[in-house]
Structure 1
Protein backbone atom coordinates (compact mmCIF):
# COMPACT_ATOMS: atom_id res chain seq x y z
CA UNK A 1 0.00 0.00 0.00
CA UNK A 2 2.87 2.36 0.84
CA UNK A 3 4.43 1.76 -2.56
CA UNK A 4 1.13 2.60 -4.24
CA UNK A 5 0.77 5.78 -2.20
CA UNK A 6 4.38 6.75 -2.88
CA UNK A 7 3.88 6.25 -6.61
CA UNK A 8 0.70 8.30 -6.57
CA UNK A 9 2.40 11.08 -4.63
CA UNK A 10 5.34 11.11 -7.01
CA UNK A 11 3.03 11.40 -10.01
CA UNK A 12 0.49 13.89 -8.69
CA UNK A 13 2.54 15.98 -6.30
CA UNK A 14 3.20 19.53 -7.40
CA UNK A 15 4.43 22.35 -5.22
CA UNK A 16 3.41 25.90 -5.94
CA UNK A 17 6.25 28.26 -5.25
CA UNK A 18 7.42 30.60 -7.98
CA UNK A 19 10.77 32.32 -7.89
CA UNK A 20 10.16 35.97 -8.63
CA UNK A 21 11.42 39.25 -7.30
CA UNK A 22 10.25 40.76 -4.04
CA UNK A 23 8.42 43.50 -5.93
CA UNK A 24 6.03 40.94 -7.42
CA UNK A 25 5.40 39.18 -4.12
CA UNK A 26 1.93 39.56 -2.70
CA UNK A 27 2.22 39.99 1.03
CA UNK A 28 0.09 40.19 4.10
CA UNK A 29 0.80 41.59 7.56
CA UNK A 30 0.10 39.50 10.64
CA UNK A 31 0.74 40.81 14.14
CA UNK A 32 3.99 42.52 13.11
CA UNK A 33 5.72 39.14 12.66
CA UNK A 34 6.64 39.94 9.06
CA UNK A 35 5.39 39.63 5.54
CA UNK A 36 4.11 36.38 4.11
CA UNK A 37 5.47 35.98 0.59
CA UNK A 38 3.76 34.02 -2.15
CA UNK A 39 6.84 34.04 -4.38
CA UNK A 40 10.46 34.08 -3.31
CA UNK A 41 13.95 33.83 -4.75
CA UNK A 42 14.56 30.43 -3.14
CA UNK A 43 11.61 28.19 -2.27
CA UNK A 44 11.45 26.31 1.04
CA UNK A 45 12.51 22.68 1.01
CA UNK A 46 11.68 19.60 3.00
CA UNK A 47 14.85 18.29 4.72
CA UNK A 48 16.41 15.75 2.38
CA UNK A 49 14.53 17.00 -0.67
CA UNK A 50 11.30 16.14 -2.42
CA UNK A 51 11.87 12.37 -2.38
CA UNK A 52 12.23 12.50 1.40
CA UNK A 53 8.93 14.38 1.54
CA UNK A 54 7.25 11.63 -0.53
CA UNK A 55 8.63 9.02 1.85
CA UNK A 56 7.48 11.05 4.85
CA UNK A 57 3.93 11.27 3.48
CA UNK A 58 3.83 7.58 2.57
CA UNK A 59 5.00 6.60 6.06
CA UNK A 60 2.77 9.07 7.92
CA UNK A 61 -0.58 9.07 6.15
CA UNK A 62 -3.10 6.48 7.28
CA UNK A 63 -6.05 6.12 4.90
CA UNK A 64 -9.20 6.72 6.99
CA UNK A 65 -11.27 3.54 7.41
CA UNK A 66 -14.60 5.24 6.62
CA UNK A 67 -13.18 6.74 3.42
CA UNK A 68 -11.76 3.35 2.42
CA UNK A 69 -15.11 1.57 2.95
CA UNK A 70 -16.95 4.28 0.97
CA UNK A 71 -14.26 4.14 -1.76
CA UNK A 72 -13.50 7.87 -1.33
CA UNK A 73 -10.50 9.05 -3.33
CA UNK A 74 -9.15 12.37 -4.52
CA UNK A 75 -6.65 15.15 -4.00
CA UNK A 76 -6.65 17.40 -0.95
CA UNK A 77 -5.12 20.84 -1.50
CA UNK A 78 -3.44 22.20 1.62
CA UNK A 79 -2.09 25.71 2.18
CA UNK A 80 0.27 26.55 4.99
CA UNK A 81 2.74 29.17 6.09
CA UNK A 82 6.34 28.07 6.34
CA UNK A 83 7.87 30.30 8.97
CA UNK A 84 11.38 31.78 9.08
CA UNK A 85 12.46 28.93 11.38
CA UNK A 86 10.99 26.28 9.04
CA UNK A 87 7.98 25.43 11.20
CA UNK A 88 4.55 25.03 9.58
CA UNK A 89 1.64 27.18 10.73
CA UNK A 90 -1.85 28.08 9.57
CA UNK A 91 -2.40 24.71 7.86
CA UNK A 92 -5.73 24.78 6.01
CA UNK A 93 -7.65 22.69 3.50
CA UNK A 94 -8.36 24.75 0.38
CA UNK A 95 -10.05 21.92 -1.52
CA UNK A 96 -11.06 18.73 0.21
CA UNK A 97 -12.30 15.26 -0.57
CA UNK A 98 -14.17 14.21 2.57
CA UNK A 99 -13.97 15.32 6.21
CA UNK A 100 -11.92 12.30 7.34
CA UNK A 101 -9.49 12.49 4.42
CA UNK A 102 -9.12 16.24 4.87
CA UNK A 103 -8.38 15.78 8.59
CA UNK A 104 -5.76 13.12 7.81
CA UNK A 105 -4.00 15.43 5.34
CA UNK A 106 -3.93 18.25 7.93
CA UNK A 107 -2.74 15.83 10.63
CA UNK A 108 0.12 14.58 8.45
CA UNK A 109 1.25 18.11 7.62
CA UNK A 110 0.94 19.19 11.26
CA UNK A 111 3.28 16.38 12.30
CA UNK A 112 5.79 17.37 9.60
CA UNK A 113 9.35 18.20 10.71
CA UNK A 114 10.68 21.70 10.18
CA UNK A 115 11.46 22.65 6.60
CA UNK A 116 14.45 24.58 5.30
CA UNK A 117 12.91 28.07 5.10
CA UNK A 118 12.45 30.16 1.97
CA UNK A 119 14.88 32.99 1.37
CA UNK A 120 14.51 36.42 -0.15
CA UNK A 121 17.58 38.63 -0.61
CA UNK A 122 19.58 36.01 1.29
CA UNK A 123 17.39 36.17 4.40
CA UNK A 124 14.86 33.61 5.65
CA UNK A 125 11.25 34.74 5.11
CA UNK A 126 7.73 33.49 5.78
CA UNK A 127 6.06 32.02 2.70
CA UNK A 128 2.58 30.80 1.81
CA UNK A 129 2.90 27.32 0.35
CA UNK A 130 0.44 24.99 -1.36
CA UNK A 131 0.70 21.21 -1.27
CA UNK A 132 -1.62 18.77 -3.06
CA UNK A 133 -1.88 15.36 -1.40
CA UNK A 134 -3.45 12.54 -3.42
CA UNK A 135 -5.48 9.82 -1.70
CA UNK A 136 -5.89 6.83 -3.99
CA UNK A 137 -6.98 3.31 -3.15
CA UNK A 138 -4.93 0.54 -4.68
CA UNK A 139 -6.44 -2.67 -6.00
Structure 2
Protein backbone atom coordinates (compact mmCIF):
# COMPACT_ATOMS: atom_id res chain seq x y z
CA UNK A 1 0.00 0.00 0.00
CA UNK A 2 2.81 2.41 0.87
CA UNK A 3 4.48 1.56 -2.41
CA UNK A 4 1.32 2.58 -4.35
CA UNK A 5 1.23 6.00 -2.60
CA UNK A 6 4.91 6.45 -3.36
CA UNK A 7 4.38 5.68 -7.06
CA UNK A 8 1.30 7.93 -7.26
CA UNK A 9 3.28 10.80 -5.68
CA UNK A 10 6.09 10.36 -8.19
CA UNK A 11 3.62 10.32 -11.10
CA UNK A 12 1.83 13.46 -9.79
CA UNK A 13 5.17 15.23 -9.32
CA UNK A 14 6.16 14.30 -12.88
CA UNK A 15 2.91 15.64 -14.36
CA UNK A 16 3.16 18.88 -12.35
CA UNK A 17 6.71 19.35 -13.57
CA UNK A 18 5.56 18.93 -17.17
CA UNK A 19 2.75 21.44 -16.69
CA UNK A 20 5.13 24.10 -15.37
CA UNK A 21 7.69 23.34 -18.05
CA UNK A 22 5.06 24.08 -20.71
CA UNK A 23 3.88 27.32 -19.08
CA UNK A 24 3.86 30.30 -21.46
CA UNK A 25 7.01 32.36 -21.53
CA UNK A 26 7.14 35.73 -19.82
CA UNK A 27 6.48 38.66 -22.12
CA UNK A 28 9.56 40.67 -22.92
CA UNK A 29 8.79 44.39 -22.66
CA UNK A 30 11.05 47.17 -23.90
CA UNK A 31 10.50 50.80 -22.93
CA UNK A 32 10.86 53.48 -25.59
CA UNK A 33 14.27 55.10 -25.91
CA UNK A 34 15.64 58.28 -27.43
CA UNK A 35 18.01 57.76 -30.34
CA UNK A 36 21.22 59.58 -29.42
CA UNK A 37 20.40 59.51 -25.70
CA UNK A 38 21.24 62.43 -23.44
CA UNK A 39 23.29 64.17 -26.13
CA UNK A 40 20.21 64.45 -28.35
CA UNK A 41 18.16 65.74 -25.42
CA UNK A 42 20.76 68.37 -24.56
CA UNK A 43 20.85 69.59 -28.18
CA UNK A 44 17.04 69.67 -28.54
CA UNK A 45 16.24 71.55 -25.33
CA UNK A 46 18.11 74.84 -25.00
CA UNK A 47 17.24 77.66 -22.59
CA UNK A 48 14.87 80.04 -24.44
CA UNK A 49 16.88 82.75 -26.26
CA UNK A 50 14.11 85.24 -25.57
CA UNK A 51 14.94 85.06 -21.85
CA UNK A 52 18.75 84.85 -22.05
CA UNK A 53 19.49 88.58 -21.61
CA UNK A 54 17.03 89.29 -18.82
CA UNK A 55 18.35 90.12 -15.36
CA UNK A 56 16.01 87.77 -13.57
CA UNK A 57 16.06 84.27 -14.88
CA UNK A 58 13.83 81.27 -14.49
CA UNK A 59 15.07 77.79 -13.75
CA UNK A 60 13.14 74.66 -12.98
CA UNK A 61 11.53 71.58 -14.41
CA UNK A 62 9.08 71.40 -17.32
CA UNK A 63 7.22 68.17 -17.98
CA UNK A 64 5.61 67.13 -21.25
CA UNK A 65 3.43 64.12 -21.93
CA UNK A 66 2.91 62.65 -25.40
CA UNK A 67 2.38 59.47 -27.39
CA UNK A 68 5.27 57.62 -29.02
CA UNK A 69 3.70 55.73 -31.92
CA UNK A 70 4.79 52.37 -33.31
CA UNK A 71 6.96 54.06 -35.95
CA UNK A 72 8.80 56.17 -33.33
CA UNK A 73 7.04 59.44 -34.18
CA UNK A 74 5.31 61.55 -31.53
CA UNK A 75 1.79 62.94 -31.28
CA UNK A 76 -0.57 64.63 -28.85
CA UNK A 77 2.08 66.68 -26.99
CA UNK A 78 0.77 68.25 -23.78
CA UNK A 79 2.74 70.35 -21.31
CA UNK A 80 1.72 69.14 -17.86
CA UNK A 81 4.16 71.30 -15.87
CA UNK A 82 5.02 74.65 -17.39
CA UNK A 83 7.64 77.30 -16.65
CA UNK A 84 5.98 79.71 -19.08
CA UNK A 85 5.12 80.09 -22.78
CA UNK A 86 8.75 80.44 -23.97
CA UNK A 87 9.67 77.16 -22.26
CA UNK A 88 6.53 75.43 -23.57
CA UNK A 89 7.58 76.39 -27.11
CA UNK A 90 11.07 74.95 -26.53
CA UNK A 91 9.53 71.74 -25.13
CA UNK A 92 7.22 71.17 -28.11
CA UNK A 93 9.92 72.02 -30.65
CA UNK A 94 12.48 69.82 -28.86
CA UNK A 95 10.16 66.82 -28.60
CA UNK A 96 9.40 67.06 -32.31
CA UNK A 97 13.17 67.05 -33.05
CA UNK A 98 13.84 63.86 -31.06
CA UNK A 99 13.84 60.44 -32.72
CA UNK A 100 12.51 57.52 -30.69
CA UNK A 101 12.81 53.76 -30.76
CA UNK A 102 9.23 52.72 -29.89
CA UNK A 103 8.29 50.54 -26.94
CA UNK A 104 7.74 46.87 -27.73
CA UNK A 105 6.17 43.74 -26.32
CA UNK A 106 7.68 40.46 -27.51
CA UNK A 107 9.47 42.29 -30.30
CA UNK A 108 6.31 43.98 -31.63
CA UNK A 109 6.30 47.81 -31.46
CA UNK A 110 3.46 49.40 -29.49
CA UNK A 111 2.24 52.96 -28.93
CA UNK A 112 2.78 54.31 -25.42
CA UNK A 113 2.13 57.48 -23.46
CA UNK A 114 5.45 58.98 -22.32
CA UNK A 115 6.38 61.69 -19.80
CA UNK A 116 9.54 63.68 -20.38
CA UNK A 117 10.87 65.98 -17.64
CA UNK A 118 13.42 68.62 -18.69
CA UNK A 119 15.34 70.80 -16.22
CA UNK A 120 16.12 74.29 -17.51
CA UNK A 121 19.04 76.28 -16.04
CA UNK A 122 20.41 79.55 -17.36
TM-score by length of 1: 0.61
Structure (1 or 2) with the greater helix fraction: 2
* Distance in 1 separating the partners of 2:49 and 2:72: 32
**Aligned partners of 1:77 and 1:56: how far apart in 2?**
17
The 5-angstrom pairing of residues 63-74 of structure 1 reads: 63-68=47-52, 69=54, 70-74=56-60
Instruction: Report the equivalent of 1:134.
Output: 119
- Runs of 4 or more consecutive aligned structure 1 residues displaced over 4 Å after TM superposition: none
Alignment partner, residue 122 of structure 1: 107
CA displacement 1:8-45 (0-9 Å, x = unmatched) = xxxxxxxxxxxxx99xxxxxxxxxxxxxxxxx921011
Cα distance in 1 between the residues matched to 2:101 and 2:45: 22
Q: Distance in 1 between matches of 2:44 and 2:101?
A: 20
- The DSSP-based 3-state class of the residue aligned with 1:84 is coil
Q: Once superposed, what is the RMSD of the aligned Cα atoms?
A: 2.1
1:95 aligns with 2:81: yes
TM-score normalised over the length of structure 2: 0.68
CA contact (8 A) 2:60 2:120 kept: yes
CA gap of 1:58–1:122, structure 2 versus 1, over 3 A, is: closer
The Cα shift of 1:63 comes to: 1.7
Distance in 2, Cα, partners of 1:105 & 1:60: 8
Q: Report the count of equivalent residues.
A: 95
Aligned-partner Cα distance in 2 for 1:62–1:45: 20
Which structure's CA Rg is the greater one?
Answer: 2
Q: Partner residue of 1:44?
A: 32
